[in-house]
Amino acid sequence: MTYTFSNRIANLAPSAIREILKASSQPGVIPFAAGNPAPEAFPVEAIREISARLLAERPIDCLQYSVTEGYGPLRERVKADLSTRLNCGTDADSLIITSGAQQVIDLAAKVLCNEGDVVISESPSFIGSLNTFRSYGLRLRGVPMRDDGMDLDALESILKTEKQKVRFIYTIPQYQNPSGISTSLEKRRRVYELALRYGTLILEDNPYGELRYEGEDVPAIKSMDTENIVIYAGSFSKILSPGLRVGYALGPAPVLAKMTVGKQASDVHTTIFAQLLVEEWLRRYDVAAHIAALRVMYRAKRDLMCDGLAGTPLRFARPGGGLFLWCALPEHIGMLDFARRAVGRKVAVVPGSAFLVEEGESVNAVRMNFTTPTDEQLARGVEILAELLAEYSA
Interface positions, 67-126, toward a second copy (CB under 8 A): 99-100, 102-103, 106, 110-115
Question: SS3 for 163?
Answer: helix
- Pairing of β 166-171 and β 118-123: parallel
Q: Binding to a second copy (CB under 8 A): which residues in 201-260?
A: 201, 227-229, 237, 241-245, 252, 254-255, 258
Q: For residues 103 and 182, which CB has a smaller minimum distance to a second copy in the complex?
A: 103
Q: For residues 137 and 320, which CB has a smaller minimum distance to a second copy in the complex?
A: 137
Amino acid identity of 68? T
CB–CB of 89/222 below 8 Å?
yes
Q: Report the alpha-carbon distance of residue 247 to residue 286 in Å, rounded.
A: 20
Region of 383 (left: φ > 0; alpha: ψ -120 to 50; beta: rest) is alpha
Q: For residues 199 and 344, which CB has a smaller minimum distance to a second copy in the complex?
A: 199
- Pairing of β 365-369 and β 324-328: antiparallel
Per CB under 8 A, 284 contacts a second copy = no
Q: How far is the CB of 102 from a second copy (least distance, A)?
A: 5
Amino acid identity of 306? C
Q: For residues 243 and 311, which CB has a smaller minimum distance to a second copy in the complex?
A: 243
Q: Binding to a second copy (CB under 8 A): which residues in 4-23?
A: 4-9, 12
90: nearest Cα among 254, 235, 225, 231? 225
Q: Which residue among 135, 165, 285, 317 contacts a second copy (CB under 8 A)? A: 135
Q: For residues 256 and 325, which CB has a smaller minimum distance to a second copy in the complex?
A: 256
Site string for a second copy, 286-325 (x = CB under 8 A): ----------------------------------------
Site string for a second copy, 27-46 (x = CB under 8 A): -------x-xx-x--x-x--
Q: For residues 293 and 317, which CB has a smaller minimum distance to a second copy in the complex?
A: 293
Give bridge partners of residue 166 from the DSSP assignment.
118
Q: For residues 35 and 319, which CB has a smaller minimum distance to a second copy in the complex?
A: 35
Chain centroid to CA 120: how far? Answer: 16
What separation in angstroms does the CA of 62 have from each of 65, 71, 256, 272, 303? 9, 11, 25, 6, 41
Among 54-62, 177-185, 205-213, 334-342, the segment contacting a second copy (CB under 8 A)? 54-62
Q: How many CA atoms lie within 13 A of 357 on its CB side?
A: 24
Q: Which residue among 57, 91, 215, 265 contacts a second copy (CB under 8 A)? A: 265
| Residue 139: its H or E element | strand 139-146
Q: How far is the CB of 163 from a second copy (least distance, A)?
A: 14
